[in-house]
């Protein structure tokens, strides 16, 4: 590493080879990968430790909704053998233990500066370096900057007047306190019934004096049927990790999950019913995998939605509450499908009250609680599970300035753009992991992170071999990629719900599906081809004299 004084650009900068922003799954793997390549690296992380969303989201009931076996790193056979998962769907403490185990085992923390938020990243065109500053006064420079900032790292408060006036305890799911929180004897309110809200509600419902659930849009949720993993099962998995990973890489979602080639209307109504009943009993995401066309055929989708609505009626005793819990008006699976353990049972407790904000809207938050059109609900505690400025929020939250003063904020004003989810025209050597124009939230984020970091390393090796220092996609390649993304988005029902997937949850945000919905296998193929075809979609620059000075 060189320490060069670049005082002509402001504060003296520390010179590095690679700067990595974020220390979730993607950032940690990037730190490991580039350290092993012998490069001078520095990671920055706003949180106090590794873990990303799993560091912040310590709310009661937080749990992964993919099998833990899949939701883990594949790059280290040693770690696969040394770590033993306890539950099929691990809870947040087990996930954080795993992440910390990996950080310790690979000695990653010494490369990451915690409690540090990156405030700007500016491309210095003359010197072909990214200049990165932080809220702790750091100034670093490196030819390569990797934004491992994740699709869900900017939590979003609801746009409800009066939030600041609430005098009780205000808790945010995405910034949950590190100390235990007691709900006993308290009147607790929760706003938000997405994946996060559902997990919190089922966990704390029985613990609260009273729980008031302020629901605007109901979510579809299906039984998780979580279980402890037996030693025999774990041993079997450890023997077969290689083939499990292979299967995940060759699946549409980057994980081992049931899939089918059977179209919904190719079987009789009686067979459909029996297949759906089986899937419901098995739990997990079996429902989605029962038929091949549930995200393509609106009529098939509605049949499955109606099946789940029927289950809600069976589980929730009060018919009016059951009715209010039934999602309508958007396709099932178009919002992130939730998996629960006891969500619907929670509403059978006499102390849990559903407030249907579609018919009785929230007017304001007051000193004492939440005022609905029908009157005020007094609360001791209010929990916000109101989601994130997803996909683009993290990179639009600070100054990322590319060639000629071009900012990510300008480029993404009308929606995310990029090539392969990995790079953007005008931003040389700025690499994204799980970027908003790749599969992002639609595939296993760990498989995608590993894939993306490996792709970046290969691209860097290509530049090294050819004596090149900077690469970026051509505007034409980016246009072609965005056209592919848009054409796929047209076909899928995922576009048809108002969710964070399409930016609909943030006021004033440009809306549209920019994630690649063609599946993980196809995505990998596009990325592989881009490299194997000699990076013809990219322009490269040779080293300039100043950069090596
Ligand atoms: P979300 O799905 O965006 O849900 C936010 C909830 O807040 C929605 O119910 C929304 O209602 C409600 N809300 C927002 N503003 C409101 C307002 N002004 N008034 C009333 N309600 C309001 O966010 P999330 O639940 O945090 O989930 C985000 C993503 O995180 C998930 O899709 C998933 O990818 C991930 N996640 C995964 C897990 C897991 O692995 N198990 C767990 C948690 C989260 P409307 O829909 O009406 O706007």
Residue by residue, pLDDT tens for the chain (549 residues) are 334 434 345 568 999 999 999 999 999 999 999 999 999 999 999 999 999 999 999 999 999 999 999 999 999 999 999 999 999 999 999 999 999 999 999 999 999 999 999 999 999 999 999 999 999 999 999 999 999 999 999 999 999 999 999 999 999 999 999 999 999 999 999 999 999 999 999 999 999 999 999 999 999 999 999 999 999 999 999 999 999 999 999 998 999 888 899 999 999 999 999 999 999 999 988 998 999 999 999 999 999 999 999 999 999 999 999 999 999 999 999 999 899 999 999 999 999 999 999 999 999 999 999 999 999 999 999 999 999 999 999 999 999 999 999 999 999 999 999 999 999 999 999 999 999 999 999 999 999 999 999 999 999 999 999 999 999 999 999 999 999 999 999 999 998 999 999 999 999 999 999 999 999 999 999 999 999 999 999 999 988 755 443
Are both 9 and 110 inside the same structural domain?
yes
Are both 143 and 180 inside the same structural domain?
no
CATH of the domain at 438: 3.50.50.60
Residue 345 lies in a domain: yes
At residue 10, the pLDDT reads 58
Are both 309 and 411 inside the same structural domain?
no
**Ligand 1 centre distance from Cα of residue 105 (Å):** 34
Tell me which of 443, 468, 493 is where a domain ends. Answer: 468
Are both 223 and 286 inside the same structural domain?
yes
Are both 147 and 173 inside the same structural domain?
no
Residue 517 lies in a domain: no
Q: Whose CA is nearest to atom 6 of ligand 1?
A: 192
Residue 475 lies in a domain: no
Residue 161: partners with Cβ closer than 8 Å, 6 or more residues away: 363, 364, 365
Residue 181 lies in a domain: yes
**Separation between Cα atoms, residue 19 and residue 31, nearest integer Å:** 9
Residue 496 lies in a domain: no
Residue 529 lies in a domain: no
Q: Which of 163, 196, 200 to mutate to test the pocket of ligand 1 (most atoms within 8 A of CB)?
A: 196
Provide the residue range defining the domain that includes 351.
163-384
Are both 298 and 394 inside the same structural domain?
no
Give the count of domains, the chain.
2
Are both 361 and 400 inside the same structural domain?
no
**Separation between Cα atoms, residue 372 and residue 356, nearest integer Å:** 10
Are both 235 and 374 inside the same structural domain?
yes
Are both 315 and 344 inside the same structural domain?
yes
Tell me which of 384, 414, 437 is where a domain ends. Answer: 384
> Is the shortest distance between the CB of 194 and ligand 1 below 6 Å?
yes
Tell me which of 367, 384, 401 is where a domain ends. Answer: 384
Confirm whether pTM is higher than 0.75: yes
Residue 435 lies in a domain: yes
Residue 370 lies in a domain: yes
Q: Where are the alpha helices (DSSP H) in 205-352?
A: 231-239, 241-249, 269-282, 286-289, 298-315, 319-325, 343-346
**Ligand 1 centre distance from Cα of residue 530 (Å):** 35
At residue 256, the pLDDT reads 84
Are both 89 and 221 inside the same structural domain?
no
Q: Which of 52, 88, 194 to mutate to test the pocket of ligand 1 (most atoms within 8 A of CB)?
A: 194
Are both 302 and 373 inside the same structural domain?
yes
Residue 486: partners with Cβ closer than 8 Å, 6 or more residues away: 512
Q: Whose CA is nearest to atom 16 of ligand 1?
A: 158
Are both 372 and 398 inside the same structural domain?
no
């Amino acid at each position: 590493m060189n320490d060069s004084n670049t005082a002509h650009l402001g504060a003296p900068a520390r010179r590095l080879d690679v700067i990595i922003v974020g220390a979730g799954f993607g950032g940690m793997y990037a730190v490991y990968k580039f350290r092993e390549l012998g490069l001078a690296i520095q990671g920055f992380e706003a949180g106090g430790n590794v873990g990303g969303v799993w560091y912040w989201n310590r709310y009661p009931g937080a749990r992964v909704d993919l099998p833990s076996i899949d939701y883990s790193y594949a790059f280290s056979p040693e770690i696969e053998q040394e770590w033993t998962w306890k539950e099929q769907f691990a809870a947040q403490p087990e996930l954080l233990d795993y992440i910390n185990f990996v950080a310790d085992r690979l000695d990653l923390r010494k490369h990451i500066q915690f409690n540090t938020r990156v405030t700007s990243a500016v491309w210095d065109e003359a010197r072909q370096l990214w200049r990165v500053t932080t809220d702790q006064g750091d100034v670093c420079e490196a030819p390569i900057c990797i934004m491992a900032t994740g699709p869900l790292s900017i939590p979003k408060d609801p746009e409800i007047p009066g939030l600041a006036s609430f005098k009780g305890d205000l808790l945010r799911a995405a910034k949950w306190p590190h100390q235990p929180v007691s709900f006993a004897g308290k009147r607790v309110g929760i706003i938000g019934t997405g994946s996060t809200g559902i997990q919190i509600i089922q966990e704390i419902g029985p613990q609260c004096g009273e729980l008031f659930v302020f629901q605007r849009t109901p979510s579809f949720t299906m039984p998780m049927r979580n279980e402890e993993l037996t030693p025999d099962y774990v041993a079997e998995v450890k023997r077969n990790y290689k083939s499990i990973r292979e299967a995940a890489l060759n699946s549409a979602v980057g994980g081992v999950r049931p899939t089918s080639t059977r179209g919904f209307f190719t079987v009789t109504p009686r067979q459909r019913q029996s297949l759906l009943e089986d899937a419901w009993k098995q739990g997990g995401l079996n429902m989605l995998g029962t038929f091949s066309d549930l995200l393509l055929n609106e009529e098939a989708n509605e049949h499955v939605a109606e099946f789940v609505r029927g289950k809600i009626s069976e589980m929730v005793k009060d018919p009016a509450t059951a009715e209010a819990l039934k999602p309508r008006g958007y396709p099932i699976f178009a919002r992130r499908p939730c998996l629960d353990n006891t969500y619907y049972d929670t509403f059978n407790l006499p102390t849990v009250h559903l407030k249907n904000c579609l018919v009785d809207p929230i007017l304001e938050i007051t000193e004492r609680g939440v005022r609905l059109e029908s009157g005020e609900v007094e609360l001791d505690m209010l929990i916000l599970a109101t989601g994130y400025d997803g996909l683009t929020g993290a990179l639009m939250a600070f100054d990322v300035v590319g060639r000629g003063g071009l900012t990510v904020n300008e480029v993404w004003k009308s929606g995310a753009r990029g090539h392969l989810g990995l790079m953007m025209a005008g931003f040389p050597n700025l690499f994204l992991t799980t970027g908003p124009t790749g599969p992002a939230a639609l595939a296993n984020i760990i498989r995608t992170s590993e894939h993306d970091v490996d792709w970046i390393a290969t691209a860097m090796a290509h530049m090294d071999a050819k004596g090149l220092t900077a690469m970026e996609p051509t505007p034409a390649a980016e246009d072609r990629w965005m056209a592919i993304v848009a054409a796929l988005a047209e076909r899928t029902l995922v576009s048809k719900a108002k969710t964070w997937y399409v930016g609909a949850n943030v006021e004033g945000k440009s809306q549209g599906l920019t994630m690649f919905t063609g599946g993980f296998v196809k995505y990998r193929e596009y990325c592989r081809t881009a490299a194997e075809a000699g990076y013809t979609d990219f322009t490269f620059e040779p080293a300039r004299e100043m950069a090596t000075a």
